[in-house]
């Protein structure tokens, strides 16, 4: 069909007009509005509709589809069973046995309400038995948990009891055989406690001349005990000196292990080793020392060892080597005169001591330079060396226990120890253990904590005795061996104003808490904060501590401003 057609329109009775009609092609199919069909010709005529464009629905962005309803079409049909059956009854001329017949009588009729009631009762019975079974299992589980908990608590109590017994036994052994400074501190501390008890008893029970006589006798007994402790200290010093010599040799052995021959693998897979001159020299001197310190060897072997030592000493001419050579000649002369072995022990010990001094000289043994405490360079002695005004000795800075509130160097450790043994006689072992545990725990946090390493033993003693009263903040346990100092708020580094004194079990439970305000009651938190304020006021006088305190206050102010 063309786009434009010409239609002749009648405008009057005899007039016609041609009109051009533009055909607009639809973009959609027109709906069927009905019509009719000519029966004779078979031509279909459709009802015409307006050619106006229908109003478009707004686009919602969702593609819609028309669907038919899903109504089920039902249809009722009658059906008849396909199997036809019949019955046979007894009649005249026919007998049917009734031996296998069953007599069926109708039961009692019950309604639907009665049926559901019976079902409900059956369900209740099932629930009863299930709940009984569940309760029995729950009770058995609770009993098993209780048994395991009691066994664990009994095991823990037994462990604590054994640890306490071992601790008491170790302390008793230390007091019987004192060897270290801590052991003698415990002895002097027990002596001071015994003196106080005896003095109080004498002052309480006696008076006049009897009191003076008893105090004099007590003073004499104390003098004897101090003399006995001094004898133990002398014997311990001798033993410790021997241990120090062996310790030096063990260090030397370790050093020799570090100075093993250098090894490398060649292109053909073979391993090449190379000994240095210093390592060979150290091995030679160590073998000679073991040879001359060995006892109960034949005279010819002893003479051969002494000659080897003499040849070694002649390599370096000095006053020490000349003295060793003279002692070697004296021993050889005495052995040639058949002198007894017991009379030569002092001479041999002197040779071993002088040779040990020879080994310690870096000029003769270069490898020993790294094991000596005193540097060989005299210029290094002027660094970090201070004068002790008590013993008037120049010592290294590590020999001075400097508290955090100290402004001067003060006395050395030996003078402090001597003054403690003579006057106060306090035992610092418990405080030392608490400080060591505190520093280990701070290292585990790995947050660059510094204050715990600035606090010294006297500062920690003041903190425990005067602020925390030597007892746990929760259980009031006063056994310092069971107490540890941990952070009050684990998010911040340890400080005297961010700490709490607890037992080991309480400390483990405390560090697991995330919200202290919900864990502890308000009066307890207030009491802890008061202790922190006291510690802050005391340590604020220390210049080093005050810088950390100001930094903490600035952080708190910044957080409150945020």
Residues with Cβ < 8 Å from 113, sequence gap 6 or more?
none
**Percent of the chain at pLDDT exceeding 90:** 12
Say if residues 555 and 479 touch (Cβ distance below 8 Å): no
Q: Which two tokens stand for residue 467?
A: 């602020």
| CA dist., res. 530 & res. 539, Å (int) | 14
> What is the arithmetic mean of pLDDT over 233-240?
83
CA distances for 161 relative to 136, 150, 167, 343, 478, angstroms: 37, 16, 10, 53, 16
Least confident of 260-269, 331-340, 346-355, 404-413: 260-269
Q: Determine contact, residues 363/388, Cβ cutoff 8 Å.
A: no
Q: Residue 502 forms beta bridges with which residues?
A: 484
Q: How many CB atoms lie within 10 A of CB 438?
A: 21
Tell me the Cα Rg of the chain. 54
Write the DSSP string, 211-253: HHHHHHHHHHHHHHHHHHHHHHHHHHHHHHHHHHHHHHHHHHH
pLDDT of residue 113: 93
In the chain, % of residues over pLDDT 70: 83
How many Å apart are CA 250 and CA 252, to the nearest integer? 5
Structure tokens at 508: 């483990």
How do strand 483-487 and strand 499-503 relate by DSSP bridges?
Answer: antiparallel
Closest CA to 483 of 516, 438, 521: 438
Q: Which residues contact 241 (CB under 8 A, 6 or more apart)?
A: none
Q: Where are the domains of the chain?
A: 271-380, 431-560
Q: Mean pLDDT over residues 230-237, rounded?
A: 85
Measuring CA to CA, which residue among 376, 375, 394 is closest to residue 385? 394
- The C-alpha atoms of residue 312 and residue 189 are separated, in whole angstroms, by 51
Average pLDDT over residues 297-303: 85
In this prediction, residue 559 carries a pLDDT of 47
Structure tokens at 37: 């069909």
Q: Are 185 and 428 in contact (CB under 8 A)?
A: yes
What number is the average pLDDT over the span 257-277?
Answer: 66
Is residue 371 within 8 A of residue 252, CB to CB? The reply is yes
Place of tokens 């402004």: 407
Residue 561 has pLDDT above 80, yes or no: no
Q: Which of 201, 88, 267 is nearest to 210 (CA)?
A: 201
Instruction: Specify the 3-state DSSP secondary structure of 502.
Output: strand
Most confident range, picked from 60-64, 197-201, 295-299: 197-201
Is 50 exceeded by the pLDDT of residue 254? no
The residues with which 250 forms a beta bridge, in sequence order, are: none
Place of tokens 């409900």: 120
Farthest-apart Cα atoms in the chain, separation: 181
Q: Is the pLDDT of residue 370 over 80?
A: no
pLDDT at residue 147 tops 90: yes
Average pLDDT in the 99-123 region? 89
Residue range 469-495, pLDDT digits in tens: 889 988 888 888 889 999 998 888 888
Report the pLDDT averaged over residues 30-40. 80
Determine the pLDDT at residue 526.
Answer: 92
Q: Reduce the secondary structure of 244-269 to three states and give it as a string.
A: HHHHHHHHHHHHHHHCCCEEEECCCC
Q: Is the pLDDT of residue 498 over 70?
A: yes
Q: Token pair 């003579």 is at which residue?
A: 422
Sign of CA dihedral 150, 155, 156, 158: positive
Tokens of 441: 């725990």
Helices 277-293 + 345-360 axis angle, to 10: 170
Helix (H) or strand (E) holding 539: helix 522-539
Give the tens place of pLDDT for each residue, 426-451. 888 888 889 988 989 888 888 878 88
Query: CA 549 to CA 458: how far, in whole Å?
Result: 20
Phi, psi (rounded to 5 degrees) for 493: -65, 160
Q: What is the DSSP letter of 30?
A: P
pLDDT above 60 for 62: yes
Give the C-alpha distances (Å, rounded to integers) separating 146 from 25, 136, 229, 251, 327: 92, 15, 52, 54, 77
What secondary structure, in 3-state letters, does 361-392 show? CCCCCHHHHHHCCCCCCHHHHHCCEEEECCCC
């Amino acid at each position: 069909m063309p786009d434009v057609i010409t239609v002749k329109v009648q405008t009057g009775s005899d007039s016609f007009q041609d009109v051009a009609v533009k055909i607009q092609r639809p973009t959609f199919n027109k709906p069927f509005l009905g019509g009719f069909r000519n029966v004779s010709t078979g031509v279909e005529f459709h009802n015409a509709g307006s050619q106006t464009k229908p109003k478009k629905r707004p686009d919602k962005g969702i593609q819609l589809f028309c669907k038919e309803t899903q109504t089920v079409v039902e249809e009722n049909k009658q059906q008849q069973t396909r199997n036809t059956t019949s019955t046979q009854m007894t009649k005249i001329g026919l007998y049917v046995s009734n031996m296998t017949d069953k007599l069926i009588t109708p039961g009692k009729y019950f309604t639907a309400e009665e049926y559901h009631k019976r079902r409900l009762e059956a369900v209740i019975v099932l629930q009863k038995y299930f709940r009984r079974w569940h309760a029995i299992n729950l009770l058995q589980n609770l009993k098993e948990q209780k048994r395991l908990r009691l066994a664990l608590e009994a095991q823990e109590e037994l462990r604590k009891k054994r640890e306490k017994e071992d601790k008491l036994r170790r302390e008793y052994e230390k007091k019987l055989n004192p060897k270290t400074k801590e052991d003698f501190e415990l002895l002097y501390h027990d002596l001071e406690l015994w003196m106080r008890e005896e003095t109080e008893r004498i002052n309480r029970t006696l008076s006049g001349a009897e009191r003076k006589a008893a105090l004099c006798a007590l003073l004499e007994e104390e003098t004897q005990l101090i003399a006995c402790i001094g004898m133990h200290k002398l014997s311990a010093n001798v033993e410790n000196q021997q241990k120090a010599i062996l310790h030096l040799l063990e260090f030397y052995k370790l050093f020799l292990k570090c100075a093993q021959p250098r090894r490398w693998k060649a292109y053909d897979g073979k391993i090449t080793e190379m000994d240095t001159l210093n390592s060979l020299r150290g091995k030679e001197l160590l073998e000679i020392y073991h040879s001359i310190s060995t006892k109960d060897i034949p005279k010819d072997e002893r003479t051969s060892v002494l000659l080897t030592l003499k040849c070694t000493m002649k390599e370096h001419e000095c006053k020490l080597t000349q003295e060793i050579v003279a002692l070697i000649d004296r021993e050889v002369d005495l052995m040639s005169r058949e002198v007894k072995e017991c009379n030569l022990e002092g001479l041999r010990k002197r040779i071993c001591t002088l040779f040990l001094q020879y080994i310690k000289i870096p000029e003769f043994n270069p490898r020993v330079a790294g094991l000596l405490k005193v540097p060989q360079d005299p210029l290094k002695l002027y660094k970090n060396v201070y004068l002790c005004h008590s013993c008037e000795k120049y010592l290294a800075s590590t020999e001075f226990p400097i508290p955090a509130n100290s402004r001067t160097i003060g006395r050395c450790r030996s003078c402090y120890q001597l003054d403690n043994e003579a006057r106060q006689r306090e035992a610092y072992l418990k405080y030392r253990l608490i400080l060591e545990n505190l520093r280990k725990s701070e290292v585990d946090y790995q947050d660059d904590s510094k204050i715990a390493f600035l606090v010294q033993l006297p500062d920690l003693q003041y903190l425990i005795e005067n602020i925390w009263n030597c007892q746990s903040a929760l259980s009031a346990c006063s056994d310092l061996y069971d107490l540890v100092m941990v952070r009050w708020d684990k998010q911040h580094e340890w400080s005297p104003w961010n700490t709490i004194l607890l037992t080991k079990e309480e400390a483990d439970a405390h560090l697991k808490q995330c919200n202290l305000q919900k864990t502890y009651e308000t009066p307890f938190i207030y009491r802890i904060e008061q202790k922190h304020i006291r510690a802050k006021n005391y340590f604020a006088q220390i210049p080093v501590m005050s810088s950390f305190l100001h930094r903490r206050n600035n952080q708190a102010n910044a957080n409150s401003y945020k």
